[in-house]
Structures are given as C-alpha cells and as structure tokens.
Amino acid sequence: MIAAMNNKVLVLSIIAVIISFIGGFILANGLNRSEMDKLRAEIASLQKSPKTNRETADSNQNNSDDISLSDQEIKEKIAEADRSPKDFEFQKKLGVSLYKYAAMKRDNALLTEAERILNRANQLTADDYEVIVALGNLNFDLGFFNDQYDRFEKARKYYESALTRKPDDVEVRTEIGMTYLLQNPSDAKKAISELQKSLEKDPQHEKSLYFLTQAFLKEGNETEAEKTLGKLKEINPQAPQLEEIRNQLKQGNK
C-alpha cells in the first residue's frame, strides 16, 4: 500500500518532478544563463567603485557563456563582507546571491558561508522578509539533500516568522507543508493542513495541489489523492507531474 511508502521512496518519487516547480530547495533554484548574468551583476554591484562596476559589467557581457564564478571572486566578496559586518545591505545582497549560486552548484561549503552571512544580516535587521525567507530556503535545501532532518524544523521556523509579516504568501505556506511531508518521520496530517491553507488563498496553485496529492498518498488516502489529482489535471492537463502520480496510484492499487 502507498501508506507504507517510506520517506526515502517519497523523496525519490518527488525528485523526478520537482524540477518543474520554483520552490525553496535546490533543484527548483537552478539558474539559467540569463539569471546567472543577473546574479553576476548583483555581486558586481557590491563593488564600491563605479568604474569597477562598469568594467565588471562589460566583462560579464563578454563572458555570458560562463555560468560559473571563480573561487577568487567569491573569496574576495566574502572577505569584503567580513570587513564590513555592520553593513546590512551588503550582507543581505551577498548572502542572498551567494545562497542562490551555492544552491545551483549544490556546494555545501558555500551554503555554509551563505548561511553565516545571512545570519549576520538577520541579526542586523531581524524583520527583513527576503533574508528570513532565504534562511528558510537554505535550511530546507540542506535538509532535503543532506538528510539533515533537523534542518526542516529550522526552515519551518523561518517560514513561520515570514508569514507573520506576509500571511498571504502562498509559496512560503506551501514550503511549510513540504517540510512536514519530507521530514523523518513524515507528518502527512500537518502537511495536508498547511497545503490546504495555501489552496484557500490560491485554489489553482499547482505546487500546493501536487504536494497535497503526495501527502494524501503518504497518508494512504487514495480517494482524496484522486480528487486533488483531478484538480491538478483540470488546471493544467499538460502538467508533467500527472503521469508520475498516476503511476503511484496504480502501484498502490496492485
């Protein structure tokens, strides 16, 4: 029965389709070439010399095929952040940009540096929404890919803090539901509750419908899983997740 599906199997079934969503964790944060150019520009904008900004921008344009940052570039920016620990904007911009880059590269060492810088930004300005959500996403990523299940609880605390500031943020609410679904042991009931709250705000939110379906499958409630699958199909008949969920339902009925 699907109800007996363990957390590892659940993760493997989810990972096959998660790339189609823009979520908090790493696979959903892959950057294309234009986004990498934007990231490079964001990091370059932290330079204090306008001349350097222009030179770096020209260099980025000429090297748009290169979607990697050099170790030296990164080290210099981190060192600059450490020399200006009270500069909130610098800590925030670098922390968020470095997180996105580290997530794309799945670089644990850089994720650790990004976390350190984002924590410093959070200590300087505790109510900055973007920093709070970035810390939630970073902890989610570490939990998901490194089996650090305590990270899901940390991510959830940041997301809950974010929702006290923007209670209608469906993406953040959905991420909370996903932390319950993917933690070990999984808590499908709490996941269902949070995902249903997301759908109250946006009944056509595909990611919430997909993970709600997964939560019902995890709970062994195939009837409700079929209903949410039907809603997802109605909203987007071409959704790549449909076939994957159908296969799960077939396996559960064997």
Residue showing tokens 């609410």: 173
Q: Which residue has the higher pLDDT, 144 or 136?
A: 136
Domain count, the chain: 2
Residue 158 neighbours by CB under 8 Å, 6+ apart: 132, 133, 135, 136, 139
Q: How confident is the model at residue 191 (pLDDT cuts 50, 70, 90)?
A: very high
**Residue 104 located in a structural domain:** yes
**Three-state secondary-structure class, residue 25:** coil
In this prediction, residues 213-240 reach a mean pLDDT of 90
Rounded distance between C-alpha atoms, residue 118 and residue 250, angstroms: 44
* Residue 80 confidence (pLDDT) above 50: yes
From residue 238, alpha-carbon distances to 20, 27, 115, 242 in Å are 12, 21, 37, 8
Say what percent of the chain tops pLDDT 70.
72
pLDDT tens track for 60-75: 333 333 456 778 888 8
Q: Residue 95 half-sphere exposure, CB side, CA atoms within 13 Å?
A: 29
* Residue 166 confidence (pLDDT) above 90: yes
**Residue that terminates a domain, selected from 80, 111, 128:** 128
- Give the pLDDT score at 101: 85
Rounded distance between C-alpha atoms, residue 43 and residue 78, angstroms: 11
* Residue 187 confidence (pLDDT) above 90: yes
Tell me: do 177 and 119 sit in the same domain: no
Q: What is the pTM of this model?
A: 0.77
**Residue 101 located in a structural domain:** yes
Tell me: do 15 and 36 sit in the same domain: no
- Give the pLDDT score at 174: 95
Tell me: do 114 and 96 sit in the same domain: yes
CA angle 54, 59, 62 (to 5 degrees): 130
Q: Quick one: tokens of 174? A: 């959905």
pLDDT tens track for 44-54: 555 443 332 22
* Alpha helices per DSSP H over 84-107: 88-105
Q: Which domain holds residue 84?
A: 31-128
Contact indicator for 222, 228 with CB cutoff of 8 Å: no
